[in-house]
């Protein structure tokens, strides 16, 4: 199965039913639910950084992404969402492979708020005070919402050849 968990969440952010009984009845309005913004299917990747708009994830959900699909009455009134929890360990493995990147290459995903989402092979253990992931290439990809390539200063301060691709459907950068 692709999903670790499937759940139904009401319009106030409370889990009504879930394949994980421990989640039932919990209020997740801060974590995975923004009813005023949930007008289309939504994906939330795990964050290694708290951002202003997204609180830290539950410890047990650290390697998971959440997919929410809004549910509405016939008149369009929002009544909740059906959601799924997906383990993204396979995505980490793909991004952490060195195939084609040489011995020093790295691949990772960064969101519009410069939070590192996945692909952390350059950290054996991510530091507790992980800062926003910024570089000239990432800045350009986010600001121009396009792909860019060139010589850049890496996250570690070294000059590198970098390719940064903006993924508009997910609003993230593949770096």
> What are the two backbone dihedrals, phi and then psi, of residue 140, each rounded to the nearest 5 degrees?
-65, -45
pLDDT digits (tens, 9 = 90+) for 116-128: 776 655 555 555 5
Helix (H) or strand (E) holding 95: helix 89-96
pLDDT score of 19 more than 70: yes
Question: Per residue in 128-168, pLDDT tens?
Answer: 555 677 888 888 888 888 888 888 877 677 788 888 888 88
The pLDDT of residue 24 is: 93
Give pTM, 2 decimals: 0.59
46-89 confidence digits (pLDDT tens) = 654 344 344 444 555 666 778 888 898 999 888 888 999 887 77
Looking at per-residue confidence, does 58 or 94 come out higher? Answer: 94
Average pLDDT over residues 95-107: 72
Exposed, middle or buried: residue 37 (CB in 10 Å: 0-12, 13-18, 19+)? exposed
């Amino acid at each position: 199965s692709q999903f670790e968990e499937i759940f139904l969440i009401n319009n106030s952010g409370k889990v009504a039913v879930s394949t994980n009984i421990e989640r039932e009845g919990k209020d997740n309005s801060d974590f995975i639910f923004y009813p005023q913004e949930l007008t289309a299917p939504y994906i939330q990747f795990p964050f290694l950084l708290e951002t202003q708009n997204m609180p830290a994830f539950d410890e047990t959900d650290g390697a998971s992404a959440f997919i929410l699909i809004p549910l509405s009455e016939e008149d369009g009134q929002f009544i909740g969402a059906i959601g799924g929890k997906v383990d993204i360990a396979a995505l980490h493995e793909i991004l952490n492979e060195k195939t084609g990147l040489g011995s020093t290459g790295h691949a990772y995903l960064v969101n519009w708020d410069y939070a590192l989402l996945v692909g952390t092979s350059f950290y054996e253990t991510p530091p507790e005070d992980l800062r926003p992931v910024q570089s000239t290439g990432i800045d350009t990809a986010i600001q121009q919402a396009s792909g860019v390539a060139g010589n850049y200063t890496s996250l570690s301060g070294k000059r590198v050849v970098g390719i940064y691709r903006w993924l508009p459907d997910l609003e993230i950068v593949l770096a």
